[in-house]
């Protein structure tokens, strides 16, 4: 059986925040994320379901817009939003190789805006905001092709 987190279960301490049909929306009192302003996207995504596969190698995220993305653990690990991977500027971003067999050990809620993924290589500093997960899903093919090219150029393997 796969691990399934409905947003209501991930955030039980926010009473009356999620309707019973599990289509979760941000409360009106919450502001927009910094990324939403930067990208000109005023409608923040909001997940309705997060599912970790039985083998712990795929995280599936469904959003209230109807979009859903199955994100491989390796992809999530190499595009971790952590400073360890992204650096503090684009020039500092690292190309992470050798993660083809990585798995997700656990998914931990962070506030009501993100999850922290704990990987079996002990990486756990990336905080995946909802908008970043949606962006990773939408840009998966392009990002993955670029990553494979970077690996090849640097003589690294998956």
Strand pairing class (68-72; 104-110): unpaired
> Contact, 57 vs 77, CB < 8 A?
no
> Which one of 3.30.2020.30, 3.50.50.60, 3.30.1330.60, 1.25.40.10 gives the CATH number of domain 3-154?
3.30.2020.30
Which residue carries 């684009």 as its tokens?
Answer: 90
Overall pTM > 0.85: no
What is 48-97 written as a DSSP string? EEEEE-TTS-EEEEEETTS-EEEEEHHHHHHT--SHHHH-SSGGGPPPP-
Sequential pLDDT tens for the chain (158 residues): 445 555 555 554 333 333 333 333 343 334 444 444 444 444 678 999 999 999 999 999 999 999 999 999 999 999 999 999 998 988 899 999 999 999 999 999 999 899 999 999 999 999 999 999 999 999 999 999 999 999 999 999 99
Rounded CA gap, 74 and 149, in Å? 16
């Amino acid at each position: 059986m796969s691990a399934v987190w409905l947003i209501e279960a991930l955030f039980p301490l926010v009473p009356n925040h999620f309707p019973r049909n599990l289509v979760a929306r941000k409360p009106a009192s919450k502001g927009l994320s910094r990324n939403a302003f930067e990208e000109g996207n005023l409608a923040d995504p909001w997940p309705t379901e997060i599912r970790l596969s039985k083998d712990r190698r795929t995280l599936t995220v469904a959003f209230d817009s109807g979009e859903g993305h199955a994100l491989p653990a390796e992809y999530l690990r190499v595009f971790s939003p952590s400073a360890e991977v992204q650096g503090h500027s684009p020039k500092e971003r690292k190309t992470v190789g050798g993660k083809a067999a990585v798995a997700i050990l656990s998914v931990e809620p962070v506030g009501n805006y993100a999850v922290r993924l704990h990987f079996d290589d002990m990486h756990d500093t990336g905080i995946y905001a909802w908008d970043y997960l949606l962006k990773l899903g939408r840009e998966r093919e392009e990002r993955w092709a670029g990553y494979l090219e970077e690996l090849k150029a640097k003589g690294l393997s998956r």
